[in-house]
Chains A and B, each alone.
Chain A
Amino acid sequence: MRILVIEDDTTLARFVLKGLREAGFAVDHAGNGEDGLGLALSIPYDAAVVDIMLPKLDGLSLIEELRRNKLTTPVIALSAKRAVDDRIRGLHSGSDDYMTKPFAFAELVARIHALMRRASGVVEPTRLTVGELVVDLLARTVTRNGKRVELQTREFALLEYLMRNAGRPVSKTMILQHVWNFDFDPQTNIVEVLVSRLRTKVDADFADKMIHTLRGVGYVVRTP
C-alpha cells in the first residue's frame, strides 16, 4: 500500500509519515502542491493525504486537477478551518474525505483504510474474526472461543467497529461518531462506560484480554 502525503508543515509531515510507515504503509512526501501533483500524476498511489493550504498549488485545486485527469485515487483533505467550507463538503464524495486539524492519528489511519476499502470495491465481509473472537454481522451474534457472548445494541456496534479496525487503535471521538453518530464530545465518560461494559462481557471470563486501552490514543482489539 503506497500513500502520498502532501503537507508543507514539516513537523506535522514528519509525524504523519512516521506514523503511516509504522502502520505498514509505503509513504512518499511532497512539500508543496506542484510537486505533489507531479508525483500523484506519475505514480499510482493507493491513497493521498492532502493539506488544503499548500504553497504553489492549493490542495482543493490539486484534487480537482487529479479528478480532471481521471485519477480516482482516494484523497483525505486536511483543513485547519473549524467550519468545513462548502467546497470541501462538495469533495466528500465516495473517494474523498476530509479531516480538520488537529486530528488523532488513529482516526487518520482508520479513514485511510475505510477509503481504500471503498475504493477497492471489496465485498463487505459478513463475519469478522480476531483470534478466537468472532462477530457474525448477519445473525448479529458474538462468540468467543465458541461460547456465545450476549451484547446489547450499542455494545455490539462498538465491538463491530473495533473488530473492523482490529490491530489499529480507534479514538474516543471516532467511537462517538460511529456508535452514536454524535460529532461532539460530551464531557462525560460515555465511551469509557460502554467500553468497560463490553470488556466485562468479552474479556472478564478469560485470562487473555483482547480489548486494550491505549491512554491518550484510544482503544484497540487485538489477539492476545
Chain B
Amino acid sequence: MSFERLRRTTRTVGFRLTVWSSSFFVVGSLALFGLAYVVVWSSLRERDDEAIRLESVELAAQYRLGGVPTVAQLLEHQERLGTNEPFLVRMIGPDGAVIFLGTPERWGEFELNHLGSPARPPQQEWFSLRARRDDKVVDVKSLRMPDGALLQVGKTTEDRAAIMKRFRATAAGGTIAVLVLGVGGGLLLTVWALRPLRQIIDTVRAIDAGAMNARVPRRQTGDELDELGGLFNNMLDRISMLIAGMRGALDTVAHDLRTPVARLRGVAELALRSDQRRDALQQALADCIEESDQLLTMLNTLMDISEAETGTLKLALESVNVSAIVEAAVDLYRHVAEDKHIAVSTASDPTLWLMADRSRLRQVLANLLDNAIKYTPAGGRVDVEAVRHKGLAIISVSDTGIGVMAHEVPRIWDRLYRGAHSRSERGLGLGLSLVRAVVMAHRGRVDVSSAVGGGSTFTITLPFSAAGAE
C-alpha cells in the first residue's frame, strides 16, 4: 500500500521537477565551490612561495655581504620586529656541515636531514617537508651560493591549511544549505506552480463523478495555467449550453409534434368510425399521407432550427454567388407570383460572393420570398436586392404587403408563432425561425422593418467569410 503510494508520488510531475531542479542546484553550487577552492588555494600558495623567494634572495645577499653572522643578524632583526612569521633557514657549508640553522627548536619536529647536503643536494629547487607526527608541512626552497654553500629557506603551510580548512567547512555548510533550499524551494515552487493543474484535475474528476456544474477556481493572475483554467471553464459552459439547448430542442420537438400527430390520428379515426364509401376513405388516406408529410417536414425543420441555434448544424461552406442564389429563389416562385399578379424584381450585385452553405442560403431566401408573396395582395410587388456594404453582404426582401403589427415584430421569429393575418395562410410557422437560425449560424443577422399596410422589408446581413467557420 505504502509502496504503491510512494510509486505514485515518484511518478508525479511535481516530484520529478523537484528532484531535477534541486539536482541542478546542488551540482551547480558544488562546481562553484570547487572552482573557488582551487583559485584560493593556488593564490595562497603563490603568496607563500613569493615570501620564501623574497626571503631567500635577501638572505643570499646578506650572506655574500658578511657570511653567516650577517645572515643571523638579519634573522634576529626580523624576529624582533615580528613582521614576518619565522622562516626555517638552514645553511650548509661547501664541506657539507650545517653552518647555520635558524630557530631550530621550532623546526625540530621536522626531518631536517631530509633537506640533504651540498654533496647530495635535493633533486628539486622546491620541495615539501612533512612533520614527524602531525600533518604539518614546510615548503622549502634551496639556493646554491657562489662559494658552494647551500641556502635553504622554508615556511610552514599552517596558515594556508587553516584558511583552506575554514573554506572547506564553509563550503560544506553552504552545500547543505543549497541542498535544503533547492529541495525545499523546488518542492514549494512546483506545488505552487502545479496547483492550478491539480485544480483542473479535481474539476474533471468532479464532472466525471456527475457534478456537471463544477468549475475550475480562477486566480485572475493572467498566467498560462490560469488561462487554461478559464478556457476549460468556457468549454464546460459551452458544453452545458449545448446539452441544455438539445434538451430544450427535444422538449420543443416533442411538444410541437403532438398537434400534427393528433390531427393525423383524428383523420384516420374519423374515417374508420363512420361507414364511408370507398372514395371518401381514399380521401381520408390521402389526408393521412399529407399530414404525415407535413409532420416529417416539421420534424426536419424543427431539428434544423435547433441544430442551427445550438451551433451543431453542419454547414457545407463554399464560395457562393449571391446573385445566382437570388435568381434561383425568384425562379422557384416565378409562376406563383405571376398567378397572384405580383411583380418580383431583383437587383443584385453579380460580383457578390460569400462563404456560405449554398443549400441553406437558398432555403433562407426561398422562405423570405415565400412570406413576401404570401402576405402581399394581388397587384403588389416584391423587390429583392443584394448589395455589398462595408465588407458585408446585405440582402433585402421588400414587399408591399400587409405588414407586421408593431407588437408582433419581436414574436415573428418565434417557433410556431403565427400572427393574426397568417393564420389563414398555409404554413408551419417555422419559416422565419429557420431563416434567423440559419443566418445566425452563418454569423449574420436578420432584421425587419415594417408598417401595417405599408409592407415589410426583411434584411439579412452576412459577413463575407467568417460564416461559422471556427
Contacts and interface: CB of A to CB of B under 8 A. Distances in A.
Interface of A: 82-83, 102, 154, 180-190, 193-194, 197, 215-217
B314 interface: yes
Interface in B57-78: none
Given A188-B374, A189-B336, A216-B289, 20 more contacts: A83-B314, A154-B335, A180-B328, A180-B331, A180-B332, A181-B328, A184-B366, A186-B366, A187-B297, A187-B370, A187-B426, A187-B431, A188-B370, A189-B426, A190-B332, A190-B336, A193-B336, A193-B339, A215-B283, A217-B289
A35 to B, nearest CB: 30
Interface size class of B (residues with CB under 8 A): 35 or more
Given A182-B366, A183-B359, A190 B290 contact: no
Interface string B298-339: 001001000000000010000000000000100111111001
B428 A187 contact: yes
A102 B293 CA distance: 9
A107 B290 CA distance: 15
Nearest to A179: B332
Nearest to A185: B297
Contacts of B245: none
B296 interface: yes
Contacts of B426: 187-189
B175 interface: no
Contacts of A185: 293, 297
Given A187-B370, A187-B431, A217-B289, A82 B332 contact: no
Contacts of B370: 186-188
B287 interface: yes
Contacts of A217: 286, 289
A82 B303 contact: yes
A15 B459 CA distance: 47
Contacts of A181: 328
Given A186-B332, A193-B335, A102 B296 contact: yes
B315 to A, nearest CB: 12
7 contacts: A180-B331, A187-B427, A188-B374, A189-B426, A193-B335, A216-B287, A217-B286
A180 B328 CA distance: 8
B281 interface: no
Contacts of A189: 336, 426
Contacts of B339: 193
- Identify which of A189, A190, A197, A217 gathers the most chain B CB atoms within 10 Å of its CB: A190
